[in-house]
Amino acid sequence: MIRTFLAFFILISNVILAQNTLNLIPYPQKVQTLQGEFAIPDIFILSGELPKEETEYFKKRTGSQLEFQYAQKGEDIHLIHSVIPPVSAADAEEKKEYYALEISPKQIHIKSYTRQGYFLALQTLIQIIDQYKDTKKIPVMKIEDQPKFAWRGMHLDVCRHFFTVDEVKQYIDYLAMYKLNTFHWHLTDDQGWRIEIKKYPKLTQIGSKRKESMIGAYVDNTFDGKPYGPYFYTQEDIKDVVKYAHERHITVVPEIEMPGHALAALAAYPELACTKGPFEPATKWGVFDDVFCPKDETFTFLENVLDEVMQLFPSKYIHIGGDECPKTRWKECTHCQELIKKNNLKDEHGLQSYFIHRIEKYVNSKGRKIIGWDEILEGGLAPNAAVMSWTGVNGGIEAAKSKHFAVMTPGAYCYFDHYQGDPQSEPNAFGGFTPLDKVYAYNPIPSELNAEQAQYIMGVQANLWTEYILDFKHVQYMIFPRLMALSEVGWGTSDPKKYKEFENRVISQFKVLDNMQVNYAKSIYNIIGKVVPANNGIAYELSTSQNSKGIRYTLDGTNPTINSKTYQNAVQIPNSLTIKSAYFEEGQLKSAVSAQEFTVSKTTGKNITLEQQPNENYSFGGAFTLVDGIIGNVKQLGKTWLGFQGKDVLATIDLGKKTAFTEVYFNTLENKGSWIHLAKSAKIFISDDNTNFKLIKEIGTAEIQDAHGKIKVNVGTQNAKYLKVTIENAGIIPAGNPGADSKAWLFVDEIGIN
């Protein structure tokens, strides 16, 4: 594996590291700065032996800053390249992305084993030239570098919303700039089929359009009433994109969803379903019961589709989805039940495994391998399959322990459709809260794996689902600057302890994005608020990537001005109020105005423990989120809610002393399209010793539903030191609902008493 070669780079040496001077992303494994400078010439002379396509790319990227000319006989050459001969085929594979970049006073010399290594060296050189373009003097240095992980990927969903060939090419360019090497193209789903299959023309004639689209927050359940499509890529488009990516040493991995997320295909060919239909491409987001039926004609169809896909995409892996496949139709289908009995399968999960095994066998027969989301583990993993672990890290752990390769892409760190800043000042997003520093802190190798098992972690990938992303400017906003953090994580040089230093390098890269007219998120400049326990209550800490002396705030709900209070220390929150804050520089407003409303009760800031922890995707702030004085926004799942999948909430609050109260309140959410269900029931207990608890109130399903999850109950006059609230998860999602037979989500916000 690539990682074994890195030991050389992380040895302590006497070189001077340029971490504080070079604005490189991802930062190289080893940088040595020496005495002297290379003066950038007016005409940059290139060796005539340089790899052509990569060099033309370099010229295009730096053409606004440099004038190029290939060397004539006797001229001094400014850029040369040497090929390092590998000692074996294994050595060549191990070091295919290795490069050495030596900048001397007279010349820049790149050494690599492959053209891919040369291309990666050019990305580093482009960033160096950009940094020193004003002085035109580059420090003399030596860089030795190669990535830690072989798979460094970005995903793009073009089914919920479509993006043109030119926009996809721009996306690929962003990956190349920051040394990512895999583009995962999500081409089919319930809401649209986006790839031309010549044998089945109705896939694009019918499946590439829908009658309307959902708009706004999911809970609003509103639609735009506008036909969407037909939008799809012709096979010539596909070839063009694959060629474009290949020239940038990026592998395109196509995804053809199965057995679920199939409504667009079933709309075109309803005979492939368990029921007769009719079907239409989905207009809502979420998960739907109608999926591919595992009958012979379905497998014939999918094999024919995959034949054309594999002719278009030379990638070793073909992504077959495998996620979020409800078993409702299979349970009701006579053919499926007979198939389960015939093959001695345990249940419908076994049938999912049968489906994936059969597809894998066919793909393997064509010399390829399958990769799928971690639900392909259901019922047993196919022999040669790789796993893309998205629901958390457990899928990757299970795969690696069974000697299957895995790509880590857990939603908590790698879903770029989540909010990256304060949800109140960000464009509408799917949910979750994944800021830049959280992405940067991710370690793709789970601590549960030993060194041998860790070899099966191929790398890391971020995913961009586009339910709420209507255009390419919004795509840019969601991936930048988080793509830079992912880049350094995949390269293996991220260090959460040096996040501020990384943040400075990110800000330096904004100039590059400005020149490219990229609409990146500026959340990094905005005020970050954090609730902390203080004086038996709470305080609100404010911070920014800039000088904190520039922060101004108000407590009366008005927008701050340069004359508002200057932030110095955490602001005490003694009662219910709204704090607004912003960053000013030289008298000018430089950030968005952040607003946070607090609802203070007798539980606010008190010590709280949870017997079961929330899912890592929705765990921001931990248990303290339930007593931080913030009521969750029903349209924004990021930051202010805790999410539990298949688990109950069992919370105990230490009030510090015996406290009188008559009312208890908390909220739960309902968003069935996202598998979020109201609580089934709740119980409220009190105690004076945290051991012996007395039940004082029980809340049933009907009461919770009547209140739409906004629970506020009179419990009579109580006086206790401990409050315990148990909130029961809805359990397994019943048939007829999205995600049927899966574990329901329970979302809970503040638990308060008055």
CA-based diameter of the chain, in Å?
A: 96
C-alpha to C-alpha distance for 411 and 423, rounded to whole angstroms: 17
3-state secondary structure 422-480: CHHHCCCCCEEECCHHHHHCCCCCCCCCCHHHHCCEEEEEEECCCCCCCCHHHHHHHHC
Give the distance from CA 208 to its chain's centroid: 26
Contacts 24+ apart (CB under 8 A), 103-107: 103/38, 103/128, 103/138, 103/139, 103/140, 103/141, 103/142, 104/36, 104/38, 104/140, 105/36, 105/37, 105/38, 105/39, 105/140, 106/38, 106/76, 107/38, 107/76, 107/77, 107/78, 107/79, 107/80
Flag residues of the chain having pLDDT under 70: 1-20
Phi, psi of 400 (to 5 degrees): -65, -40
User: Which residue in 324, 426, 503, 728 is the catalytic one?
Assistant: 324
pLDDT, tens only, 235-264:
999 999 999 999 999 999 999 999 999 999
What tokens does 574 get? 């003694």
Bridge-based pairing state of the strands 99-103 and 137-145: antiparallel
* pLDDT at res. 633: 83
Do residues 641 and 747 lie in contact, with contact meaning Cβ atoms separated by under 8 Å?
A: yes
In CATH, the number for domain 2-145 is 3.30.379.10
Across 131-162, b (16+ Cβ under 10 Å) vs e yields bbeeeeebbbbbbbbbbbbbbbbbbbbbbbbb
Fold of 607-753: Jelly Rolls (2.60.120)
What tokens does 107 get? 């010349």
Do residues 376 and 399 lie in contact, with contact meaning Cβ atoms separated by under 8 Å?
A: no
Do residues 131 and 23 lie in contact, with contact meaning Cβ atoms separated by under 8 Å?
A: yes
DSSP annotation of 5: G
Which amino acid makes up residue 636? Answer: Q
Which single residue is written with the structure tokens 């995600």? 739
Give the distance from CA 525 to its chain's centroid: 21
670 included as an active-site residue: no
Rg value, the chain, Cα: 28
Distance spanning both ends of the chain, measured CA to CA:
59
* pLDDT at res. 535: 87
Fold of 151-515: TIM Barrel (3.20.20)
Which single residue is written with the structure tokens 């609409």? 519
> Residue 319: CB partners within 8 Å, gap ≥ 6?
184, 253, 254, 255, 256, 370, 371, 372, 388
* pLDDT at res. 119: 98
C-alpha to C-alpha distance for 170 and 66, rounded to whole angstroms: 22
Residue 29: closest CA among 48, 56, 6, 61: 6
